[in-house]
Amino acid sequence: MNPSLPTTSELMLRAFRARTAVPGFNIPYLPMMAPVVRALRDTRCFGLIMAARLEWTKFQAGGIQPLFDEYQKVKDERFTRLHLDHVPVIDEDQLLVDFEGDIGQAVALGYDSVMVDGSRLSLAENIAATKRIVDLAHAQGVAVEAELGAVFGHESGPMPPYEELFESGRGFTDPAEALEFVLGSGVDWLSVAIGSVHGVISEKRTEKKVAARLSIERLDAIRETINIPIVLHGGTGIRKEYIIESIRHGVAKINVATAIRQPYEALLKESPEKALDAVYAETVRVIREDLELEGSADVIQPSRPA
Ligand code: 13P
């Protein structure tokens, strides 16, 4: 990365303090990366280009190296950084993952930030796994995100009815546990469960997502306790008023995958060119309309000669 530019860590802290946010866009198919970078530049929005492990095991993102190579071709570091999303310790099929191997590879290549997902483990195991990644990544100046609580939607099989889930608060992140987690692991950003759900990846992956709500009360309690940038996964389909409110209350990174993947998959057979145009148009729309983050780069990274 260009050393005269602020690090992703620094930009995330600025976003958190300014109560604005950094969108992270998932890339399940490598060709989607170029139009997403273009959309970020054209809207002057600072955002992360990212892929989760399941995007190369269950979609066509290629892998850690192909994603890195593609990023080198299309990046614009004033508006973009490369993030490794969800590398689970235990994956969605309940299998153990060589998470240290995958994340170590990304750190060595030069990814700007990484995520370790130990949310299927006990609190103590999640802390221990995250700390191992923090030690490995911080040694190279790479920021780490982790998850505490259960953001549903990645598991195979049917999900419980959404309203029932939300009302019960089942799986929501507990503020006291969050503090223990942050202090014990040294993590930089925390992904929390406050009502959002991941886009479905199973047979229902072409369906429209539920209109999720968020518990701003729970978000406040977590932020007041941990005071580090908070990450919201499952960014597609959350009711807009909740998204905007969550940014004002400490959500500093929002992950968006389904919104830009579905139009790409719908048009790919008809015309790859039209599919890429649709990714560009949808990314611009999400930034402008759903997240209201157009121009955010000028807030967190004011212009100066590079
Ligand atoms: P959506 O598919 O709901 O946008 O979620 C993306 C996500 O959280 C990736 O980590």
pLDDT tens digits along 255-305: 999 999 999 999 999 999 999 999 999 999 999 999 999 999 999 987 654
Q: In angstroms, rounded to a whole number, what is the distance separating the alpha carbons of residues 121 and 127?
A: 9
Report the pLDDT value the prediction gives residue 152, as an integer from 0 to 100: 75
Q: What pLDDT score was predicted for residue 304?
A: 57
As a whole number of angstroms, the distance between CA 21 and CA 230 comes to 10
* Helix/strand number for the chain, H first, E second: 13, 8
Ligand 1 center to 233 CA (angstroms) = 5
Query: Is 85 part of the annotated catalytic residue set?
Result: yes
Cα end-to-end distance, the chain, whole Å: 12
Is the pTM value of this prediction over 0.75? yes
Closest CA to 247 of 296, 183, 182, 188: 296
Verify whether ligand 1 is closer than 6 Å to residue 290 (CB atom).
no
Mutate to test the pocket of ligand 1, among 22, 25, 26, 287 (most ligand atoms within 8 A of CB): 26
Read off the pLDDT of each residue in 52-62 and give the average, rounded to a whole number. Answer: 97
Inter-helix orientation angle 99-109/64-74, to 10°:
30
DSSP reduced 3-state for 217: helix
Ligand 1 near 235 CB (within 6 A): yes
Cα of 229 from ligand 1 centre, angstroms: 18
Structure tokens at 304: 């100066």
Say which residues have a Cβ less than 8 Å from residue 159's Cβ, sequence separation at least 6. Answer: 152, 153, 165, 197, 200
Question: How far apart are alpha carbons 12 and 228 in whole angstroms?
Answer: 9
Q: Is 198 in the pocket of ligand 1 (CB under 6 A)?
A: yes
Q: Which of 42, 85, 98, 188 is catalytic?
A: 85
- 175 ligand 1 Cβ < 6 A: no
pLDDT greater at residue 164 or residue 42 = 42
Distance of alpha carbon 236 from alpha carbon 14, whole angstroms: 24
Q: How far is CA 294 from CA 7, 41, 261, in A?
A: 21, 10, 21
| Nearest atom in ligand 1 to 196's CA | 3
Instruction: State the pLDDT at residue 200.
Output: 62
The closest of 302, 297, 229 to 80, measured between CA atoms, is 297
Nearest CA to ligand 1 atom 9: 255
Ligand 1 within 6 A of CB of 26: yes
Mean pLDDT of 158-181: 90
Give the residue-averaged pLDDT of 182-192.
98
Ligand 1, closest atom to CA 258? Answer: 2
User: Which atom belonging to ligand 1 lies closest to the Cα atom of 26?
Assistant: 9
Query: How is residue 169 written in tokens?
Result: 């608060």
Question: Cβ–Cβ contacts within 10 Å for residue 177, how many?
Answer: 16
Give helix 33-42 / helix 272-285 axis angle, nearest 10°: 40
Q: Compute φ and ψ for 85, nearest 5 degrees.
A: -85, 175
Query: Around Cβ 138, how many Cβ atoms within 10 Å?
Result: 15
pLDDT higher for 167 or 278? 278
pLDDT exceeds 90 at position 198:
no
CA distances from 249 to 22, 24, 223, 231 (A): 14, 18, 8, 12
For residue 130, name the pLDDT band (cuts at 50, 70, 90): very high
CATH of domain 8-299: 3.20.20.70
Whether the CA torsion 225, 230, 233, 237 is positive or negative: it is positive
Q: How many Å lie between the centroid of ligand 1 and the Cα of residue 67?
A: 18
Residues facing residue 147 across a β-bridge: 191
Q: Cα-Cα-Cα-Cα dihedral of 135, 136, 138, 140, to 10°?
A: 150
Confidence of residue 150 (pLDDT cuts 50, 70, 90): confident
- As a whole number, the mean pLDDT across the chain is 94
The reported pLDDT for the residue numbered 306 is 46
Give the Å distance between the CA of 259 and the centre of ligand 1: 9
Percentage with pLDDT > 70 across the chain: 95
Predicted pLDDT at 73? 98
Distance 236 CA to ligand 1 centre (A): 6
User: Does 45 sit in the ligand 1 pocket, CB within 6 Å?
Assistant: no
d(CA 191, CA 143): 13
> 200-229 pLDDT, tens per residue?
654 467 778 888 999 999 999 999 999 999
Q: What is the mean pLDDT of residues 145-170?
A: 83
* CB of 255 closer than 6 angstroms to any ligand 1 atom: yes
Tell me, in angstroms, the distance from the centre of ligand 1 to residue 210's CA: 13
